[in-house]
Amino acid sequence: MIRHIVLFRWKDGVGADHVEATKRGLSELPAKIPQIKNYRFGSNLGVNPGTFDFGVVADFASLDDYLVYRDHPDHKAFIAAHTADYISERAAIQFEID
């Protein structure tokens, strides 16, 4: 299994409406991209200082399945509509899990 984690910070001025639209957009991706085995996302609770604003965790059966997701037109459209112009910083990692 491959786990993909993405964290990002919103640019100043990105409001709650956009964050909710982002969550709606993310919730639609598993139905469009069957390679997604598990998909979780949400806003930071703000418990600790210096953390990111939003996170996504996705699991895939294989690296090939992750690559299908990464390059999928619906995923790319989501990025263009919800994150590309709205985030100031992004961090990501992919690693194997049992």
Task: Give 54-86 pLDDT, tens digit per residue.
Answer: 999 999 999 999 999 999 999 999 999 999 999
CA dihedral 16, 43, 31, 74 (to 10 degrees): 70
For residue 14, give the CATH number of its domain.
3.30.70.100
pTM, 2 dp: 0.93
| Separation in Å, CA 38 to CA 3, 61, 73, 80, 91 | 9, 10, 19, 22, 20
Tokens coding 1: 């299994």
Share of the chain above pLDDT 90, in %: 99
Computed over every residue of the chain, the mean pLDDT equals 97
Domain that holds residue 80: 2-96
> What is the domain count for the chain?
1
